[in-house]
Amino acid sequence: MKKLLTIRQVAEITKLSVHTLRYYEQIGLLSSIGRDKNGYRCYSSEDITWIEFLTRLKATGMSINKMIEIAELRRQGDSTLNARRVLMEEHYQEVQEQIADLQKNLDLLAHKIVIYKEMETIYELGQKKKCEE
């Protein structure tokens, strides 16, 4: 016995807007979302799981186009499991590199902050001198 959810409930659970949920479906990120007798969307718990997976991909900077690619492979069934895993592993590597770059640039900025502090001290000394004059 599956319990189905309305678009609003899914929006609350996933923290996406109802707009975005419809948009994701339209561009092919979500497929075969069920409908009730009036054509209202009914989301299953598998749909939620999939949306949460997408959210994680997004949180690691994957583009919508890349996600659509994976969604299309998924639609083709289990024979694409290997292809999907390869894409995921590539993405994993890319993000690891991104994190390393980010940390490197951040360390350089930390050094800049030190320089700011030095310059501040010099500036303050100059101001103090002015006061004394």
Q: Which residues bind DNA (CB under 7 A)?
A: 6-9, 17-20, 22-23, 26, 36-41, 58, 63-65
Smallest distance, a second copy to C-beta of residue 125, A: 12
How buried is residue 6: exposed, middle or buried, by Cβ count under 10 Å (0-12/13-18/19+)? middle
Partner from a second copy, DNA, none binding residue 19, C-beta < 5-8 Å depending on class: DNA
Contact status: 102 vs a second copy (CB under 8 A): yes
What is the DSSP annotation of 23-63?
Answer: HHHHTTSS---EE-TTS-EEB-HHHHHHHHHHHHHHHTT--
**∠ Cα 7 14 103 (to 5°):** 150
> N- to C-terminal Cα distance for the chain?
85
Among 31, 81, 97, 125, interactor with a second copy by CB under 8 A: 81
In this chain, which stretch among 3-11, 13-21, 36-44, 97-105 interacts with a second copy, using CB under 8 A?
A: 97-105
Contact status: 46 vs a second copy (CB under 8 A): no
Specify the residue for token string 């007798």.
37
Smallest distance, a second copy to C-beta of residue 110, A: 6
How buried is residue 33: exposed, middle or buried, by Cβ count under 10 Å (0-12/13-18/19+)? middle
Q: Which of residues 48-77 bind a second copy (CB under 8 A)?
A: 53, 56-57, 59-61
The residue (of 38 and 65) whose beta carbon lies closer to a second copy is: 65
Smallest distance, DNA to C-beta of residue 101, A: 16
